[in-house]
Structure 1
């Protein structure tokens, strides 16, 4: 399984700053290894950000996203003690989900 998703949420009044680092190789299928062989495509296809079990973002990615994609956004209505979770699925069927409690 892939490395842990790093999630950070900082409340700033009514607005919460959220940063998500999804560690993944995000291969396009166009690079070659040391022996000249093509490295197969391997990328995150879908991801979901949920607040207390309810999706707030559903996204789709493709091969044009860099390795270890970092997403940042702002949201309203998030309070200390809320559960923020992120889940992704890649084109190989691998999945990862991690959760934090907002401080």
Structure 2
């Protein structure tokens, strides 16, 4: 499965707001397919955001998070042109990561 992370970060007034849309099925393991069989669990366990290589947010997720989750947060500091990194690991050991520049 192709995983994708869309990130937007904007600096203003001494803080940076980060928005990310993470394309992931986030299957809980409790939902059945059309044939009536349970879809195996497949969800992000850890997501991490960095600013110029320094961790600014770590999230511990589980099967209760919806498909294609959206996350928005702010942190103090950051300026236009700085780097924002996003990476995650799911319960099957799959990973994805991306970087973006703060606007």
TM range (shorter): over 0.9
Paired residue secondary structure (2:78): coil
Cross-structure match for 1:87: 87
Measure the CA separation in 1 of the matches of 2:65 and 2:95: 18
Native 8 Å contact 2:56 2:75 kept in 1: no
Q: Which runs of 5+ in 2 are unaligned?
A: none
What's the counterpart of residue 31 of structure 1? Answer: 31
- Per-residue CA deviation, residues 41-65 of structure 1 (Å, 9 max, x unaligned), is 0000001100111111111100111
- RMSD value, Cα: 1.1
Query: For residue 69 of structure 2, what is the aligned residue in structure 1?
Result: 69
Counterpart position of 1:54: 54
Do the aligned partners of 1:87 and 1:96 also contact (CA within 8 Å) in 2? yes
CA contact (8 A) 2:19 2:72 kept: yes
Contact 2:84 2:100 in 1 (8 A): yes
**Unpaired segments of 5 or more residues in structure 1?**
none
TM-score relative to the length of structure 1: 0.94
Number of residue pairs the alignment of both structures matches: 103
Shift >4 Å, 4+ stretches: none
**2:40 and 2:88 mapped to 1: Cα distance?**
19
